[in-house]
Structure 1
Amino acid sequence: MGKNDLEPRGVAAVWPLTQQPRNQDALLGLNRTEGSDLNLAALWRIAWTWRWLLLGAVAAGIAGGVIFTLLTTPLYRSEAVIEINPPSVEVMDGGKAGPVAQNDQAFVQTQSGLLRSRSLAARVVQDLNLASNEALVPDPNADRATRQRIATNLLNANLKVESDERSRLIKISYSSADPQLAAKIVNGFADSYIRTSLERRYQASSYARDFLQKQIGTVRRELETSERQLVAYAQQQGIIRTGAGESATSDTASLTGTSLVELNKALADAETKRIAAEQAYRESTASSATVEISERTADLRNQRAKLESDYREKATIFRPDYPELQSLKARITAIDEAIRTEAGSVRAGQSGTRRADYQAALSTENTLRSRVEQLRGQVLDLRGRSIQYTILQRDVDTNRSLYEALLQRYKEIGVAGGVGVSNASVVDRGDVPSSPYKPNLMVNLLLGMLIGAGIGLGTALAVEFINDTIKTPDDVRDDLELAFLGGIPVSKGKRPTEALREANSPISEAYFSAAMSLQFTTDGGVPRVLLVTSTRPAEGKSTSTWALAQHFARLGRRVLLIDADMRKPAFVTGREKEDGLSNLLTTHDLLNNHVQQTDVEGLWLLPCGPIPPNPAELLSSPRLRAILAEATSAFDMVVIDGPPILGLADSPLLSTVCQATLMVVEAGKTRTRAAVEALNRIRSSGGNVVGALLTRYRHEATGYGYNYEAYSYRSVENRNREIRAIGGRAE
């Protein structure tokens, strides 16, 4: 089959075989998407398409990593671990010193900065005499200061300090081409850091002692002066303070104030007693002393009750004027009078006693109140004279507190405090490394591979997006706005015509799915007259025409395949000079005389016939419609293999007389602009394009790029691309 042959491989997705509306608009609406995105599937497709480019870039990156490893000087790293112990700071609170822990992480970060400091590096250079080491300072003619500066800069550049936020450990490491030197320097940093820390603490305590000595002398003189002034003022004003623990501003610290406080307490007690006596007196006046009266008149009330009982008993028998009843009533009246007399005497006795108590309490209160008022005036006068005394007393107290605090702090600070335990200790000393840590071959290979893969993938993406071709079903739906009827895979090892003879081959299954999809492209099912064409040559249209016609014939239809490509015919019988479409178009012969039966049952072929000099003129004649009308009356379906669209007028002319047109697009080869232009030509001619087939379509990847070949005339004797499908002439 030559350039129109397909190379089957894999099975492609096709149009779903569920019930769909049988019209082109519905079919297009189902296939359109919002647009294609750069998703994982697209990236995988691009990576597979350009896998050799990616593999080459990865191989170049790995080679670069190997070369870099070989050219890099080996470096050795020695590591040491230091533990940092933040000191606790004593804070004075209420005259007592208490330890307060510092912020651990802030302190650790501060110590990390000190380890990176230039001054520490300069001390290490001096302690280890590194300025004379030719491995660090290769210029022996430089002066001492220059060599020390060079060595210091080199130590700072190769030193690495790392701190862990969750612990107090600091790891210091040094890199050098000499493993012995790396271990020596990292241990020198650890030792110098600890010695420097101790020296700073001693210097700080020495300065504090000198400062405290000066401050203690000054404060002591100020305390003596303030005490003298306080005593002199108290003698002058006659102020005597009795309360040793009382504040100088308290009135109770003087004799007068003490007396006033005691009198106030006595006055408060007297007021309480007077109020109680007054309350008792008022209650005795208002009440009837019921309890005492009841006790003292109990016998009289018992006698009265007995007489009252006798009177009522005899009143039921005798009349009220009976002498005995009169006697009982007189006795009851006498007892009532005796009860009233006894109650009056009780009340009068109680009232007199409580009145006397009340008057005594009131007199005591008045006496105390007069004395309090007198002492209050004296206290107010003393308070006015004590203002200056209070000021002097405050100065004395302040100076005394300051003096005692400075004296205590001076006792705490000593030589032992300055040279105490260091806030850092070495956990692990640096060992001599046995192998270099840089260059790391595996890391360099991994970085080279990643960089190469990134460059390769970036290049593939750039080329992919620059090259505008139809690659996927989404491109068919979005760019061409056509229904995707099926994807025809590429085959491996067999010619497409051979693979089509096997019903279970991937390419046969793909074409069968495409044939089934055609049933949903029109309201009447499969188009009676179907034109198969493509944008350019060698896209597989002839193979697709043969495969579709063969599949419809196997479904029990009488199918006529017409080879209308009268420039480069693909179907040959050996009798093209006598029979064929070109002869029918130029004569009024019957169609049946030119149709030949193929080796597929139910499939007939109308070859192109002799190649005419003017195919477009023949196809534009009214004779073509008559031939197709005769073919549709004799066959169930007519499938036409048309020439490519671009550059030729044949296919647009054929599309005007066909019920439907099927576009064949080679995946990854046909440019989008060319396919859109070809589609516009068909539609502008009035053709009905029902969908598109993607040939040479890969699920895992789509082919990319093509070399456009000119469409040239040739004779039907070129057997490299012929489809031998003729079994005999139809009767």
Structure 2
Amino acid sequence: MAAAVPNQLLDLLRALKRRRYQVIVPAILVATFGIAFAVIVPKRYRVSMRIDIGDRTRVESDARLKNPQEVAVRREAASAHEHIVNYTRVKDFVESNLSLWPDYAQANNDGERYNFISKRILKDLSAQPTLRDAKGGGTIFIEISYSDEDPTRAAKLLDGISAAWLKEMFESDRTTLLDERAEFQDMIGTQQAELTESEDRLYAVYERLGIDPSSSGLETRRDDPRDWAFKQLDKAKTELADVEFTLELAQFEQLQAEQLLRETPAVLRTEVTPEADDPDVVLAQHKKELVALEEEIENLRPSNSTYKRLKPKIDALRQEIAELASQEPEVDSRWVEEPNERYDEYDLALRSKRDEVGRLGKKRDELAQVVANLELETKARSAQYKELDELENEVTLARELVNRTRREWQDRDTSLQLLDRSQQAWIISKPPLPSAASTQPNPWLLATVSVVLGLALGLGLAVLTEFARSCYRSTTDLASVMGVPVLGAIETIVTRKERRRLQLAHATAGLSTAVIVGTIGWLTWLWYSAPERLPLEVQDAIERLRSALK
């Protein structure tokens, strides 16, 4: 079995040798057509450029913020492919440079124009952003590339659409800043009008309260010593409390004076001791003697000498008593009435207390009315102070809002001025330059592949022709079938006529191949070096072929 493999290989080599023309002719033809194709096929040149975008912010003051507002070109860098590989943008550039794309100018309708841009330009255009630490503020790189048959046209396209996008981003920032500045300007006008209205109402309250708004360190609370209403109210309440206390004390003293006056008599009666011959004294003495004599004769008989002796004396006393009793007594005979000086003093003191109580009561009523009026006024002023506090807070907030809006407006105005004067936020680190060498297809690769394919086709045809017949091709095949050793072999006998016919066939094939190869090579060389020397029909055919291969 191991010896059969070399024998089969030798048989294959002998067969290829016999059919060498079947191997060489297809190989030469395929290689010729491949090389011609590599020369005629439209070459595409890849042109690229790179844009470096810095980390500058749109609003200068935003650089100190945690989340600054980036410039539009940096903010939209992540979606650069959608912005640059854009049908509308490419269409505008192509229509403004129709001389570069004559095929587009010959399109008959919008559908053909759309297909031209989509299949001929957008398909080979790409924009790839490289975000190198964009969050940390690093530079963003955008690689833009385009493949075209004309490297100069490719470079112009990249330069045009990238410039249009960058200009759009710049104008976007500028328009945004203008719109924001105008918006803040309108906000300032509205807020300033509201602030003026609030200040007018605040100054009106100042005027009603009698407060000088220009005073520094102005306190507008109730405990402000300059507020006379609350001061007068506190003073009036203090005076009213003192008067009420004094009135209560005076009323108590009045009650004491009235009681003392009631207990003190207006007239003092003095008992006077009468003299000896005073009728009352004599009458009293006679009555006393009469009682004594009557007691003495009470138990005596009339016949008793003592009785008789005392009886006339008793009758005489009774007569004297009757006479004395019949006499009218004198008025001041016993008591002497005199004016009471203390009563007059107490009465004067009582009238004084009554006058004092009346005066204090009147004063209390007056002070109570004053307190009531001041309370009404202070209540109104308290409401005004509350309104004043609210207005002061409102004015303070309005001023802060206006100042904050002004700062925002100033930031936009400064950023707009810096945007107009300062350098751009991007640089084109790699401009689009036409390339002298094509990138696709590779002619050397096409030539090599065509040679390999030609050899493979020739070998395949030779092997297929040789082994397609069902016969014994060598002594080895015969020996393997018959099972006996081969003693000798006679080669195929070829007559002169057959040899001449075979040589003629080989010469015809070689000459045809040479004519075909020479014609293709000559046409290819003429088209490559001087296409105007070719006939118009050939030129049109080649151009149609090239258009079909695009």
Query: In proportion to residue count, which structure has more helix?
Result: 2
TM-score range, shorter chain: 0.3 to 0.5
Query: Between Structure 1 and Structure 2, which shows a larger proportion of strand residues?
Result: 1
User: Which is greater in Rg?
Assistant: 2
TM-score by length of 1: 0.31
